[in-house]
């Protein structure tokens, strides 16, 4: 097993747990996009594992125990099929056409976006508006709207740069 394999697996699991048991595959993917944006911006040295390990420090919602993952959940199964696309930056068209298998290593790492990823944009924060909001998030993100633009919403989730 390589470090990249561990990071990709952790990204899939992190996003599923952070989204919660009733989340859609799109919500899981959007959270993963926020994590990827943090890595690209150099948070915690651009280290995938460190970014996820420290995600609770900038969480939008109050801590809740991580839910048990259901290996039969269709949203979860759909999400894990797409997790590599977020990690490597593939877009939907590349995935569906099979072109990603023909890309050079440099192209596989190059940022790509489409659909949901375009909507999330450069967001690095997410919050579920129907759950208790953390004091840190209110003070550092919501109360500083001029610094943290709301980029998208997905159901009861909002995303901020």
DSSP state of 134: P
Query: How many H helices and E strands in the chain?
Result: 8, 3
Contacts of the segment 77-85: beta carbons below 8 A, 24+ positions apart: 78/25, 79/12, 79/15, 79/16, 79/25, 79/28, 79/29, 80/12, 80/16, 82/25, 82/29, 83/8, 83/11, 83/12, 83/15, 83/29, 83/32, 84/8
Can you give the residue ranges of every domain in the chain?
A: 3-118
pLDDT per residue as tens digits for the range 43-80 = 999 999 999 999 999 999 998 898 999 999 999 999 99
pLDDT computed for residue 109 by the predictor: 43
pLDDT per residue as tens digits for the range 12-50 = 999 999 999 889 999 999 999 999 999 999 999 999 999
pLDDT per residue as tens digits for the range 86-107 = 999 865 444 455 545 555 554 4
H or E element, residue 159: strand 157-160
pLDDT per residue as tens digits for the range 107-133 = 444 444 458 888 899 999 999 999 999
pLDDT computed for residue 114 by the predictor: 55
pLDDT computed for residue 102 by the predictor: 54
Question: 128-154 as b/e, with b when 16 or more CB fall inside 10 Å?
Answer: beeeebbeebeeebbeeeeebeebbeb
pLDDT computed for residue 95 by the predictor: 47
Query: Residue 123 and residue 38: Cα distance in Å, rounded?
Result: 8
Residue 6's pLDDT band, with cuts at 50, 70 and 90, is very high
H or E element, residue 18: helix 3-19
């Amino acid at each position: 097993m390589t470090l990249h394999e561990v990071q990709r697996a952790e990204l899939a699991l992190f996003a599923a747990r952070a989204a919660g048991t009733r989340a859609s595959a799109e919500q899981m993917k959007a959270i993963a996009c926020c994590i990827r944006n943090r890595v690209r911006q150099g948070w915690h040295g651009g280290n995938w594992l460190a970014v996820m390990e420290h995600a609770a420090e900038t969480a939008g919602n109050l801590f809740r125990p991580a839910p048990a993952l259901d290996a039969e959940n269709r949203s979860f199964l759909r999400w894990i099929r797409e997790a590599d696309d977020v990690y490597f930056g593939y877009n939907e068209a590349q995935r569906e056409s099979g072109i990603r298998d023909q890309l050079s290593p440099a192209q596989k790492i190059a940022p790509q976006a489409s659909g949901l990823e375009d909507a999330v944009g450069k967001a690095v924060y997410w919050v579920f508006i129907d759950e208790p909001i953390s004091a840190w998030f209110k003070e550092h993100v919501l109360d500083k709207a001029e610094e943290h633009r709301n980029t998208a919403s997905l159901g009861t989730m909002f995303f901020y740069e």
